[in-house]
Structure 1
Amino acid sequence: MTITPNKIPPQAQERKPGLETEMTPKPEYDRDSYQGSGKLRGKVALITGGDSGIGRSVAVLYAKEEADVAIVYLDEHEDAKETKRLVEKQGRKCLLIAGDISNDQFCQEAVQTTVSELGRLDILVNNAAEQYLEGTIENIDAARLESIFSTNIFSMFYLTKAAIQHMKKGSSIINTTSINAYKGNAPLLSYSTTKGAILAFTRSISQSLLEKGIRVNAVAPGPIWTPFIPSTFPPDAVSDFGKQVPMKRPGQPVEVATCYVFLASDDSSYFAGQVLHPNGGVVVGA
């Protein structure tokens, strides 16, 4: 696979969450040159937002590394079925779990279902999120704040609390934060604020979970071509997406997913409370 330059036509999706099936061009979730080497052999991963975008690519690369996966998604059933097909193509199991991660009870059930069906839980990828283009703080009401914080950060508390009951020494939790946690983004105020909270959550809980032998780290993507983009921004902004970074193009999910492989494997055994920055060359503070 060759990463293509930014040639994205204007487009929009009214539906939230967005659908990968309606994107042009389709995001690149795999590369032919990526050959698994058993880095995650015998492990089980639970990935939220695993139906599309970064989550789909993580699921596929994990399968290439010989892990079974459970993917949690809201209601994007066709996208989720395609991810399942891609994982099973690699000879691994893929469990689909549909539901709302802003609900504590559902999060507990998702973890229990994963353990019951796949036998264990070694890797938790807290990746799902929602995002809104708001403009100014005057456009954000209490209902919006409650919704986005419940999905983007409260869910990480719920899922992590449930998951660690089943995890053993050597397990890994990986949270998706964002470049916006470091640089800020005025039109995406509520989203950026939750991503800052995820950064603090990662750094804080990583310290206590080391006592259990569980490593917690994060990934802070820059502009990545996922369903988030056409479902958030107006068509003209979509066609210019990613041109602002030094590489002058958006990233592809597969260019981010390799970070999650590294952080889930023993290759990152000396990493805890850290953040990787696949962002097209933007230099950000630690």
Structure 2
Amino acid sequence: MTDDHGGKPAQHQDHQPGDERAMHPRPRYEPRFPGAGRLEGKVALITGGDSGIGRAVAVLFAREGARIAIVYLEETEDARVTQDIVEAEGSECFTIEGDVGDPAFCCHAAEQVAQRFGRLDVLVNNAAEQHEQDDVRDISPAQLDRTFRTNVYGYFFMTQAALDHMRDGAAIVNTASITAYRGSDHLMDYASTRGAVVAFTRSLAKSLAERRIRVNGVAPGPIWTPLIPASFDGDQVAEFGTSTPMGRPGEPNEVAPCHLFLACEDSSYMTGQVLHPNGGDLMVS
């Protein structure tokens, strides 16, 4: 449990997806409890696994016995740090650089994982981007296309590619957002993509039920990740998350256990559902 209360120091980064090593304080990714072998022998592919929530998920899955492959866009140094942390947990970590918005890359990535590890048991669709605009008229076609290509098409493309290698009984976990449920007046295209992810999760769960492939989602509230200083100015960063009932942003290691629960057999009777680690905001699903 974190003892923090209130916001983070003002800071800003000039590009997305952002550098975790440049943040202060650094996001907390460390698992908080010993592993119990809940993913022993499994292989997990995590998009956006170099930093933020993706890093925390990768390390937690490794502690629970999984071998890990992470896809990342361009933050090679962050990806290497994640690889080192996963390997320190006694697991293997394979890093793949590329854009999930490219279907050919997604096929290549899934094929690499299958060749490297011989199997693929868990897919975590997590990579995302967001771009602030207060007026819907200022959202250019290029921005709209880019946000949907990463946040929606990327989930479709990676799922399509992974399913060619996943066995019956596998699991897919999609990272969505609180904005899918409450909207956002300054992240309208991003919030729209997160709503699409919720609908995709529910629809895919029905489609794959006969194969016993469970599909669920996690819709975090404000979480301290590199995307935050890469999206907002310093003043906004300083206030980020302070309006939640708990009065602070969450940490990645407070979200990753939701992904673990949905990836392992603890959630064997759940599919098409969404968990809400959001600091106390009540959501209507």
Q: Give the CA deviation at 1:34.
A: 1.2
* Paired position in structure 2 for 1:129: 128
Q: Quote the Cα distance in structure 1 between the aligned partners of 2:193 and 2:251.
A: 23
Q: Quote the Cα distance in structure 2 between the aligned partners of 1:186 and 1:104.
A: 31
> Taking structure 2 as the reference length, what is the TM-score of the superposition?
0.98
Taking only the aligned residue pairs, the percentage that are identical comes to 52
Structure 2 letter corresponding to 1:51? D
* Paired position in structure 1 for 2:144: 145
Q: Quote the Cα distance in structure 2 between the aligned partners of 1:117 and 1:283.
A: 42
- Closer, same or farther in 2 for the Cα pair 1:253/1:157, shift >3 Å? same
Is the Cα contact below 8 Å between 2:240 and 2:249 reproduced in 1? yes
Is the Cα contact below 8 Å between 2:7 and 2:242 reproduced in 1? no
Per-residue CA shift, 1:193-244, capped at 9, x if unaligned? 0000001000011001011110000000000000011011110110111001
**SS of 1:168 mapped into structure 2:** strand
* Paired position in structure 2 for 1:166: 165
Structure 2 letter corresponding to 1:285? V
- Closer, same or farther in 2 for the Cα pair 1:3/1:122, shift >3 Å? farther
Q: Give the CA deviation at 1:7.
A: 4.8
Q: Quote the Cα distance in structure 2 between the aligned partners of 1:70 and 1:156.
A: 16
Structure 2 letter corresponding to 1:16? Q
- Closer, same or farther in 2 for the Cα pair 1:172/1:285, shift >3 Å? same
Q: Quote the Cα distance in structure 1 between the aligned partners of 2:49 and 2:222.
A: 18
* Paired position in structure 2 for 1:25: 25
**SS of 1:157 mapped into structure 2:** helix
Matched residue count: 285
**SS of 1:169 mapped into structure 2:** strand
* Paired position in structure 2 for 1:235: 234
Q: Give the CA deviation at 1:3.
A: 4.3
Q: Give the CA deviation at 1:4.
A: 2.4
> Taking structure 1 as the reference length, what is the TM-score of the superposition?
0.98
Structure 2 letter corresponding to 1:73? Y
1:1-286 aligned at under 5 Å gives the runs 2-31=2-31, 33-286=32-285
Q: Quote the Cα distance in structure 2 between the aligned partners of 1:139 and 1:218.
A: 30
Per-residue CA shift, 1:106-161, capped at 9, x if unaligned? 00000000110111100000000010011111111111111111100001111111
Structure 2 letter corresponding to 1:209? L
Runs of 4+ in 1 over 4 A off after TM superposition: none
Per-residue CA shift, 1:14-62, capped at 9, x if unaligned? 011111010010000014x411000000000000000000000000000
Q: Quote the Cα distance in structure 2 between the aligned partners of 1:38 and 1:3.
A: 28
Structure 2 letter corresponding to 1:112? E
**SS of 1:86 mapped into structure 2:** helix
Q: Give the CA deviation at 1:72.
A: 0.2
Structure 2 letter corresponding to 1:30? E
Q: Give the CA deviation at 1:169.
A: 2.1
Structure 1 letter corresponding to 2:84? R
Aligned-CA RMSD value: 0.9
Structure 1 letter corresponding to 2:25? P
Q: Give the CA deviation at 1:272.
A: 0.3
Which blocks of at least 5 consecutive residues in structure 1 are unaligned?
none
- Which is further off, 2-11 or 221-230? 2-11
Is the Cα contact below 8 Å between 1:168 and 1:213 reproduced in 2? no
Which blocks of at least 5 consecutive residues in structure 2 are unaligned?
none
Q: Give the CA deviation at 1:6.
A: 3.1
**SS of 1:95 mapped into structure 2:** strand
Is the Cα contact below 8 Å between 1:3 and 1:252 reproduced in 2? no
